[in-house]
A = this chain, B = another copy of it.
Amino acid sequence: MRPASDKIPQPTLSRLTLYLRCLRRLAREGVNTISSAKMEAHCGIVPAQIRKDLSYFGEFGKPGAGYDVQHLLARLTEIMQLDREQRIAIIGAGNLGAALAGYAGFAQSPFRIVGIFDNNFNKIGRMLWNHEILDLQRLSEINQHMRANIGIIAVPAEAAQEVADQLLKSGVSAILNFAPTLIEVPPDVAVRNVDLTRELEVLCYHLDRLTSSPQDASPNDDQ
């Protein structure tokens, strides 16, 4: 299956990023070739699943040998569009927005934070990690030359939908939403939610209920 876009299961996409992470490490360690079986030890995904996931995008492996680390890394990077710069605008310069803006993990990644916005006049104009905090009112205008294509929403729940609308109007086509609320967008926009409270609440449910009977990979994985 070559189309590389049509009917890829969501969980597969999520695991792809996991494989990428493994492959980057293997490449750094000078490993040339890896089989799906050995890969399991690195990323915790069973071999059959790894092979099936990869097979959605092409035939990358060689029977008897496994996958060429460099090659697979390059192909997956391309498929995930991580071979080009991805420009991010962060909306909300509170605790979370500030922490995200300062995240060191972006250093050797295609992700580049190009702007931080807030609507609080006490914050606008102040510096945050080498970025001037910009006026949210001017998002559309500024993004004409800033050209962020991914927006991160790090504002209170009440403001999230409005911020999402503004992001879309500004030309952003993917949103990572940290606000604990549902945001509605047209079907051609990708949204992922990260919801601290939801995760904690699910953990609470399991407290004192997990008694070694469930499968190995406890209440987790994908998403």
Q: Which residues of A contact B (CB under 8 A)?
A: 5, 10, 13-14, 16-18, 20-21, 43-44, 79-82, 86, 88, 95-96, 98-100, 102-103, 105, 109-111, 149-150, 173-176, 180-182, 184-194, 196-216, 218-220, 222-223
Cross-chain contact of A16 among B17, B189, B205 (Cβ < 8 A): B205
Closest chain-B Cβ to A218's Cβ sits at a distance in Å of 6
Q: Take A182-B44, A207-B173, A220-B192 as given contacts and tell me if A198 and B18 are in contact as well, using a CB distance cutoff of 8 Å.
A: yes
**Chain B residues with CB below 8 A from A193, complex form:** 220, 223
Contact yes or no, A13 B202, CB < 8 A: yes
Instruction: Given the known inter-chain contacts A109-B197, A219-B190, please indicate yes or no for A202 contacting B44, CB distance below 8 A.
Output: no
Nearest B residue to A198 via CB reads B17
A152 to chain B minimum Cβ distance, whole angstroms, is 8
- Asked if residues A203 and B182 are in contact (CB atoms below 8 Å), the reply is no
Give CA–CA (A2, B179) in the complex, Å.
Answer: 33
Q: Cβ of A202 and Cβ of B102 under 8 Å apart?
A: no
